Structure 1
Amino acid sequence: MSKELFEQFRRNLAVKNADEISKSYRQITEKLNGKYYDSASDILHCRQVGSYGRHTAVHGVSDLDMAFVLPWSVYDRFQRYENNKQSALLGEIRLALKERFPNHEVRAQQQVVSINFTDYVVEVLPAFEHEDDSYTYPDANDGGNWETCNPVAEIDEINALNQAKNHNLKRLCKMVRAWKNDHGVPLKGMMIDTLCYQFLKNTADYDANSYSAYGEMTRDFFAYLVDIDEDKEQWRAPGSGSIVTKSGNFHPKAKKALRRLQEALDDAEVAHERWSTVFGEHFPEYVEQEKKQAIAENRVKNGEQFIGRKFSLDIQYTLRIDCSVKNEGDRLRNLMSRVMTYRIPKQRELTFWVAEIDVPPPYKIYWKVKNLGPEAIERNMIRGEIRIDSGHHQITEHSTFQGDHYVECYAVKDNVCVARSRIIVPI
């Protein structure tokens, strides 16, 4: 069973709009080739980089990176500028791309020029290529500087280890992204790829294995995450050796994932539920046909919505919600930590609010309330719709149906869900 589940999981994570993304890359490339090379080519001098270039991105990827290699004569021209040569170069490229995309937002931002295509943003890195395939690129911060990077070396190293590990590296990177996006873990793409690379580089356990061993492989990866020193802040990227910095504490959620993944291996009857809990909505359903049909009909009937189907998902920031229970004298998390079997009495007023968020404004807040348990199902009150916040960053609910329910909160910026949080509500 696990082989078929993880094989379908990989297919579910594939980028569905790859043709549209490729079209955007070609249009950008054609415009810049026309300006800097007097060429109509839509493929030359362009390199897909970032997670999309490393082939570790998943469906819903919102930040797409490309490097466009410029002639060194352009570098020489801007070197003659007295003030912020780098800002001037970015500004020139922005004007060219704005001419090509007049109806899109085009911005020069520190090291890149970004084009907003509604469902995703393409960030163009102007690059001057060296013989070792590394790049010199502009950084407009602090008066302007030239910096170096080597994304090609990163791609080559990821490709080499992926081949040596029976294609398991890139698949593991994608599965970890699904976990990150579903649980709101502040892990950036290069960090995920670096951690997965280091894990597989230091074990031969899965060199000859594939989907049938992914239950064990993901369990072992999360055990590796949990064992990392919580004070460790920096890693070296594969290939380039560039510094990769931790953007948040992933240990608490990694420990929960590890526990559930171990439970999936220990008890076949709960395996599917535990894997689904860890990996989220892209993990495939695998239940008896009649139950599967009932679930599908129930979701349609109750109009349950999923954030990954309304917006692109790319969790980058921290969001934490809390809940107070009227007449109970404390917050829900504190009540549950003191009494492991605590359940909220019926007919209590519950207030949920955003207790912590580090998303730079502007952004929008959305909420989802999901009622579970036999009473809610019997009365057809499962709910699960996603609604926008009223502006107060809080909602009020009432404990009506017995069972384990949950409330989720999402922060959406530029049509991308960049942070999320969930709280279990036992009634």
Structure 2
Amino acid sequence: MKKDKFNSKLRDLARTLSPTQKERGMISQIYQSINDCLGEENTIQIGSYPRYTAITPVHDLDILYVLGKWGESDPRATEALNKLHALINQQYKMPNEFDSVKVGIQTHSVTISFMKNKEEVISVDIVPAYEYGANEFSQPTYKVPEIIKKKSHRARAQFYVEKQIKREVINWIDSDPRGYISCATAVGKNPDFRKAVKIAKRWKNNLQSENEDLKLKSFHLEQVITCIFQENPRIEIFDAIFKFFVDLPDTVLVANRIADRANPDKYIDDYVADISKWHKEMIREARDGFLAKLESVQDGSSMGTLLAIHFYERGSAEKFMFDFNIPVLTDENNVFSIDGFLKKKAGFREYRYPISAGGGVVDRHDLIKFQIVKNNTGAGFYKWKVKNDRSVERAQWRGEITDNQTSNDPEKALYDGRHFVEAYAIKDNVCIAKAKQSVILKS
């Protein structure tokens, strides 16, 4: 599929991932109810929602509650959290559409959980903060309670209780949420930025649904894509998605690459160091599955299937076009086909019998020379892939890609199964056409 169609389909896909009108209305009511309690002049929306990178369903929101300027007093984080907790318990009035709320306290925030039919619909983390310094956008930066690396609200709440019992101090750290919003606004002048982020986030969420140990962080992925758009402000959504997934093993899966805006000696991706080698390999396999499907998208394909997780297990030799940083953007107007020719066939001269005439069926030990038979692409060069049936022993799995001809020329039929040979026409480092020939060997 050509890039303009790809871009259009990916943009349509991203639109389906945005928060729904009903969710946006609910969130507006929640924000207003919190402003009514804490004072609109004291609260700032932070997180993915004001960056317009949130996806549906929206599970949580974040608000900064500004207490004043740092240095006017010497506050303890526990005191700030306890006072905020008491204030919300005493004065907060929930929107009418909810049955009840639960108010909890963690090491860095007070959480309001909005309940309906005894189930949590959405939660809001309210973070106490003091203004401290300014960023390059002349916006305040803040001191906020340190976020403890626990996996759930419940675990962080329990940790807070333990801290209080032991009378341990919760530290204040620097934070620049408004700077992240401004960066998102800047790169968001290209509307494909937020769409690319939403596609990556949905893939990440689906990955975690498949295996809860494969926990990449949404904010981390968003910052990786932010860097892509900062480097190339005019990049289109296909190129951004392609680059994100192609580079994923060297960007997302390598720790300590992206410094925190407010704490240059800390990294937002430091958690990656704790992901096991085995789980990183599973993430790579899911990434391979995404990109392999991307190479096979056709005009009638449903783009939503790209986001269904497929862990693709390669043999040691197998390659794809994306391994060469070559996107597959085929043009349906191109004519490009291949065939295999047998060295020996009764009634035919050497390498003249096309195996397509027999449906690709060959005999064991047949020698087959593969050639391009139709071609109007004007391509600069060609790559070839030989892929055998997964029913053969793993040590015999193939899938190597070579230039100008198959790895063996001619190829020799050895193993039962349904195999194939594929050729790729490359122009300006883009695969503009591809062709496949089946090879079927039965005992």
* TM-score, normalization by structure 2: 0.52
Match of 2:271 among 216, 240, 246: 246
* Residue equivalent to 1:220: 243
CA distance, structure 2, for counterparts of residue 208 and residue 230 of structure 1: 26
Q: Which residue of 2 aligns with 1:144?
A: 170
Give me the TM-score of the superposition, normalised by structure 1: 0.54
Matched with 1:27 is: 33
Which aligned pairs between 1:245-264 and structure 2 lie closer than 5 A? 245-247=270-272, 248=275, 249=279, 252-264=282-294
Could you list the runs of 5+ residues in structure 2 that have no partner in the other structure?
Answer: 95-99, 115-119, 135-139, 147-159, 209-213, 310-388, 393-443
Q: How far is the alpha carbon of 1:47 from its aligned partner?
A: 1.1
Mapped pair 1:93 → 2:84: yes
Q: Percentage identity across aligned positions?
A: 19
CA positional deviation for 1:196: 1.0
| Aligned residue number for residue 276 of structure 1 | 304
- Distance in 2, Cα, partners of 1:267 & 1:176: 18
Residue 278 and residue 257 in structure 1: after superposition, are their counterparts in 2 closer, same or farther (change >3 A)?
farther
Whether the aligned pair in 1 keeps the contact of 2:45 and 2:63 (CA below 8 Å) is yes
Q: Which position in structure 2 is the counterpart of 1:64?
A: 61
What pairs up with 1:46-61 in 2 under 5 angstroms?
Answer: 46-61=43-58
Q: Secondary structure at the match of 2:41?
A: coil
SS in 1 for 2:61: strand
Aligned runs of 1:119-138 on 2, under 5 Å? 119-132=121-134, 133-138=140-145
| Cα 1:98/1:59, change in 2 over 3 Å | same
Change (3 A) 1:59 1:89: same
Q: For residue 188 of structure 2, what is the aligned residue in structure 1?
A: 162
User: Tell me, what secondary structure is at the counterpart of 1:31?
Assistant: helix
Deviation of the 1:191 alpha carbon: 0.7
Q: CA deviation at 1:91?
A: 1.1
Letter in 2 for 1:178: R
Cα 1:12–1:75, aligned 2, differ >3 Å: closer, same or farther? farther
Kindly tell me: are residues 69 and 246 of structure 1, through their superposed partners in 2, closer, same or farther at Cα, counting changes over 3 Å? same
Larger radius of gyration: 2
Residue pair 1:126, 1:138 contacting (<8 A) in 2 also: yes
Q: Would you say the 8 A contact 1:157–1:238 is kept in 2?
A: no
Q: SS in structure 1 opposite 2:10? A: helix
C-alpha distance in structure 1 between counterparts of 2:263 and 2:226, whole Å: 13
Superposed CA deviations along residues 247-290 of structure 1, whole A, max 9, x for unmatched, are: 54555334433454354345526x725x4333249xxxxxxxxx
Aligned to 1:192: 221
Distance 1:75 1:144, change over 3 A: farther
Post-superposition Cα deviations, 1:348-371, rounded to whole Å, max 9, x if no partner, equal xxxxxxxxxxxxxxxxxxxxxxxx
Partner secondary structure for residue 120 of structure 1: strand
Alignment-mate amino acid for residue 192 of structure 1: L
Q: Which structure has the highest helix share of the two?
A: 1
2:391 aligned with 1:341: yes
Aligned residues: 260
Please give the per-residue CA displacement for 1:19-71, whole angstroms capped at 9, x wherever unaligned: 211211221122122xxxxxxxxx32221111122221101121211101113
Give the superposition deviation at 1:135: 0.6
Amino acid aligned to 1:147:
I
Match of 1:14 among 13, 18, 28: 18
Cα distance between partner residues in 2 of 1:115 and 1:250: 34
Q: CA contact under 8 A between 1:199 and 1:224: conserved in structure 2?
A: no
- Quick one: structure 1 residues 104 and 173, their matched pair in 2 at CA, closer, same or farther if it must change by over 3 Å? same
- Return the letter of the residue paired with 2:184: I
After superposition, the Cα gap between the structure-2 partners of 1:183 and 1:138, relative to the gap in structure 1 and judged at 3 Å, is closer
CA contact (8 A) 2:109 2:126 kept: yes
Report the equivalent of 1:112.
109
For residues 277-356 of structure 1, what are the structure 2 equivalents within 5 Å? Answer: 277-280=305-308, 340-341=390-391
CA shift in 2, pair 1:101/1:123, >3 Å: same
- CA drift at 1:234: 5.0
1:113/1:124 contact within 8 Å kept: yes
* Residue 113 (structure 1) shift: 0.4
- 1:272 is paired with a residue of what secondary structure? coil
The separation in 1 between residues aligned to 2:306 and 2:390, in whole angstroms, is 22
- Work out whether residues 234 and 246 of structure 1, in 8 Å CA contact, stay in contact via their aligned partners in 2: no
Q: Distance in 1 between matches of 2:292 and 2:246?
A: 10
Alpha-carbon distance in structure 2 between the residues aligned to 1:230 and 1:157: 23
User: Structure with the greater relative contact order (CA < 8 A, sep ≥ 6): 1 or 2?
Assistant: 1
Q: 2:31 and 2:251 mapped to 1: Cα distance?
A: 38
Are the structure 2 counterparts of residues 107 and 101 from structure 1 closer, same or farther at C-alpha, using a change threshold of 3 Å? farther
CA distance in 2, matches of 1:28, 1:125: 12
Deviation at 1:201, TM superposition (A): 2.9
Question: CA 1:215 to 1:272, structure 2 compared with 1: closer, same or farther past 3 Å?
Answer: farther
Q: 1:155 to 1:261 in 2, by over 3 A?
A: same
AA at the equivalent of 1:187: L
Counterpart contact for 2:46–2:62, Cα < 8 Å: yes
Q: 1:86 and 1:45, CA in 2 relative to 1: closer, same or farther beyond 3 A?
A: same
* Residues 260 and 193 of structure 1, relative CA distance in 2, 3 Å threshold: closer
Q: Distance in 2 between matches of 1:340 and 1:276?
A: 26
Residue 209 (structure 1) shift: 5.3
8 Å contact 2:35–2:43 — kept in the other structure?
yes
Shift of 1:231: 4.9
Provide closer, same or farther for how the CA distance between residues 2 and 231 of structure 1 changes in structure 2, counting only shifts above 3 A: closer
Unaligned runs of 5+ in 1: 34-42, 80-84, 282-338, 343-427
List per-residue Cα deviations over 1:213-265 (Å, max 9, x = no partner). Answer: x3443222100113338553552246875521235455533443345435434
